[in-house]
Amino acid sequence: ELHGSPAAPVTAVALSRCGNFGIVGSASGRLDRYNMQSGLHRGTYCRASSGAAAGPRGAPAAAVGGKRGAGSGTAAGAPALPAHDGAVVGCASDATNRLMVSAGLDGVMRVWDFRTLALRAEVVLGGPAVRLVLHPNSGLAAVALADASIRMYDIEAPRLVRRFRGHRGRAGRDGHCVAGGAAPPPRGAASLLERAFGPRFDR
């Protein structure tokens, strides 16, 4: 059973690289962490309200959670906002379980401290996101937008690395975005993973 409220359909899931934690995003914008063995809730990634004090890069001044029980990424006693204002469409953790990235229909990509649950940075994408794929070893995240464009970000900085435009196909649920109709047309059909990270990509 999912933790917290409001109850909403699950729209994104991810497994930590260590395999100990599962991340669940929902249509309500919630982003929660669970222990894979016990199924217990291990914290909520959430934003401080606009009136709360903020630390570097917009992170909350203090963070709690990341341990047993229902912790959150906001300062103690501060009102919390969900991870996104709208459905979470993608989430993933990096290779060392240091950073976690999420994207939503609100058109924002957010980078979180995986352990403390605190918000580290956020990037306005320029449109609603529909898919997010992270290459954990390089820290590069490819985000497909509703306008069929693809943007690649370095989540450590965070900064835009590359932008792919001209796609006529939409991103599929498996992370692929058919680009056979792009201009100029590539050799055959390309995919989000191949275009963003090269022909060889271990998911």
- Per-residue confidence (pLDDT) for residue 72, from 0 to 100: 61
CA distances from 73 to 40, 88, 125, 191, 193 (A): 17, 17, 22, 35, 31
- Per-residue confidence (pLDDT) for residue 15, from 0 to 100: 96
| Contacts (Cβ under 8 Å, ≥6 apart) of 37 | 20
Residue-range domains of the chain with CATH: 10-197 (2.130.10.10)
- Per-residue confidence (pLDDT) for residue 137, from 0 to 100: 87
- Per-residue confidence (pLDDT) for residue 48, from 0 to 100: 87
- Per-residue confidence (pLDDT) for residue 122, from 0 to 100: 96
CA distances from 168 to 37, 46, 189, 190, 199 (A): 42, 34, 11, 12, 20
- Per-residue confidence (pLDDT) for residue 4, from 0 to 100: 64
Rounded mean pLDDT for each run of 10 residues along the chain, 203 residues in total? 72 95 96 95 90 41 34 60 96 95 98 97 96 92 93 95 75 47 41 49 38
Strands annotated E in 19-139: 21-26, 31-35, 41-44, 46-48, 80-82, 88-93, 99-104, 108-113, 119-124, 129-135
- Per-residue confidence (pLDDT) for residue 63, from 0 to 100: 31
- Per-residue confidence (pLDDT) for residue 186, from 0 to 100: 41
